Structure formats: structure tokens, C-alpha cells
Amino acid sequence: MKWFGVLGLVALSECLVTIPLVKIKSLRENLREKDMLKEYLEKYPFRLTHKLLHKHADSGVAFEPMRNYLDIAYMGIISVGTPPQEFQVIFDTGSADLWVPSIYCSSPACSNHNTFNPLRSSTFVASGQPIKLIYGTGKMSGFVGYDTIKISSLVDRNQAFGLSVEEPDKILELATFDGILGLSYPSLSVKGVTPVFDNLWNQGLLSQKLFAFYLSSKGKKGSVVMFGGVDPSYYTGELHWVPVSKPLYWQISMDSISINGKVIACDGGCQAIVDTGTSLLLGPQDAVLNIQEIIQARRSTSGEYFIDCDAVNTLPDILFTIDGIGYPVPANAYIQKDAALGICFSSFEGNEDILNNLEEWILGDVFLRLYFTVFDRENDRIGLATAV
């Protein structure tokens, strides 16, 4: 059993459940250390990091592109089955389905991770439904089963989830998590499958139809995802509520992106997806290239944009204005340092794909580390406040 330092699962109260999240080494760091980053980026160009929904023609099978797998950063622990089998999963607002590796998977990626054995669970029920999830940089396929899922003190019974049979891509072999627990809208899930959050709500396990994330930064501990309530000790000031513009992903309208009062992107408004499963700040290729030039980031042979580490002390904030409220992202957030190699790189990444012909951004962990975020399904809105 792999262990990444989670000290336990804690329930703050009967109606507010928090799950500690652990910051893990990103796949970008793993690839860089193995001298595989350049080869990977050449094989999977940046445009493949974007997530668009595609439905498979066959009934019961959905193609569901997910996050940029280069920089996944946070995970927590859940258990599946009776008696419980533990898995480290990404709590991902950019997808809707839960899946874990299974004992029926012979891919190297499965041999490197915890695998679920349905024969050991007295509450497991199989189904004949196949599942196939397509990532920007990999894929998994398998079948759907039903079992008891335990998330902190929450006991989610008869929960549909995917058991992988194939995880053929190298990138999943290098991943330091076992599976993924999606938290986006059910319209993004595999046909006929009720996502975990909806099942929790339908079973009356939550006092409020919402969840929230606090992602710690700068090596600090204490990252949590909260279900059924909000703990105000994780943020300062008031929550500012932004309506969801399209209930598929957690998508909102953004006014502009600016530096020192000058708009540098999203001029006239654009769309943004708030995604805990993406590490960086993703945007249209041309807009991001303009930002890289402004902050004097230089493209390396590996495809990354490196920047002088001293620039963190001189570059201004980049302001993301959402529903009339400005959310500054300082240089020490949009410039990331690889401590092992002593190099710094830009947290902006270009994306050539455009959803629904609109300029679209993905606000990943770089943004979410700064702002405590509430995902309110009851009112189809997102709440943002400055994280402590």
C-alpha cells in the first residue's frame, strides 16, 4: 500500500465533511527527471490538453477527455468495497466519473498502482456496461460496477464506478495517483451513470448541495475538499458568487485579463472553466503567447516556457476580472520553480482548441491556490474568496 502522508480522514461536523488532500510530485516533474519531457511534448502537443466532450456512437459508451495530465497536483484517499480497499484519487471538477484500476488490468500502469479486487468485496455488483474514457494524453477502458464508496465519514452505497481493464499509455504509468473522482455536472458523465456527488445528495448524506476546495500552496499542508458545507476559516472576506454559464463543466463568464490596467487577453469577455484537475492556466494559443512575451518567458527545446527566477520580484500581478470583481494572480503564483533543478517556468500554457467557438480559459490549481472555491449545485454558481 502506497502512502503519501495523509494523516487521516476528518469530519468537522455531522453536516460538513472535509477530506485532506496531499500535494504530490507532478507528472511534469517526473518526466523531466526521467529526461522524457521533450519526447512527451513532441508526441502530445499542447492543444491536446484541452477537454472537449465527445459521445461514442455505441450505447453506454462515452468518450470523455479530461485534464492536462502533465501537472496533476492534489489527491485524497477513498475506499471501495466491503471490506474497504483504499485508493488515492484526484478530486476533479473537470470530469464526472469515478474510476480505479482493477485486478483484471494487465497494463504496466495498473501494476504500479493499487487495484480493486471485486472478488474480495461482499457488496460488489457487476454490470455489463463498458466504459471508455479518453484523455488528452491517454485513455482507460473497462467496465462499470456498483459498490460502497467511503469518502471520509460519508458512506455512498450502490455507487457506479469504472474498473479499468486497460490503461495502455505511458503517462498513466508515471502518475502518482490511482484513479479519478469526477465532480462536474452529471451531463458530462457516462450514459446511465450517476456521479458520486449526485448519489451522495440523493441518499440524503449532505446538508447542502455543494462542495468546496482549499488548495494549500508553497509547501504548506492542509489542503481539503469539503462536502455538504463550507468552513469559513479557510478564506477571508466575503464569497463572491458567479453564475455557471453552462452546466456541463464548471464554466463561468470572465470579463477580461489585464496587467496594470491594460487588457492583455479576454478582451470583451470570454468563458472560463474552473478545474481542480488542471494545474496550470490554459488559454487560447495566441493570447498565451502574448502573455509569455509580456512576462519575457522563453520557449525551451522541451516545449516549456522558462523564465528568470528573479522576475518573481519585479513582474506585476495579472488580474483576472470575473463578474466585475478582480482576482489578482501575482508573479510568485504564475512563475513556478522546480526546486530540484533550480529552474523557473511560466504557469501559462497555450491551447489551440476552442469550445463552442468562444475564447476559453481553464483556471487550474495556479488560480485555485489563491482563491477558496465553492461549487454550488443547488444554485448553479461558483463562490470565490481569498484563501488564507
Using left for φ > 0, alpha for ψ between -120 and 50, and beta otherwise, residue 8 falls in left
Active-site position among 71, 178, 255, 275: 275
Asked if residues 39 and 174 have their Cβ atoms less than 8 Å apart, the reply is: no
Active site residue 317: no
- As a whole number of angstroms, the longest Cα–Cα distance in the chain is 61
Alpha-carbon dihedral sign for residues 326, 330, 334, 340: negative
Give, in order, the Cα–Cα distances in Å from 303 to each of 33, 343, 345: 15, 14, 11
The cell for 44 is: 502530445
Q: Report the alpha-carbon distance of residue 126 to residue 101 in Å, rounded.
A: 15
| Contact residues for 18 (Cβ-Cβ < 8 A; gap 6+) | 10, 11, 12, 152, 224, 225, 226, 227, 231
Q: Report the alpha-carbon distance of residue 344 to residue 256 in Å, rounded.
A: 26
Asked if residues 276 and 74 have their Cβ atoms less than 8 Å apart, the reply is: yes
Active site residue 92: yes
Asked if residues 271 and 358 have their Cβ atoms less than 8 Å apart, the reply is: yes
Active-site position among 71, 92, 255, 365: 92
Active site residues: 92, 275
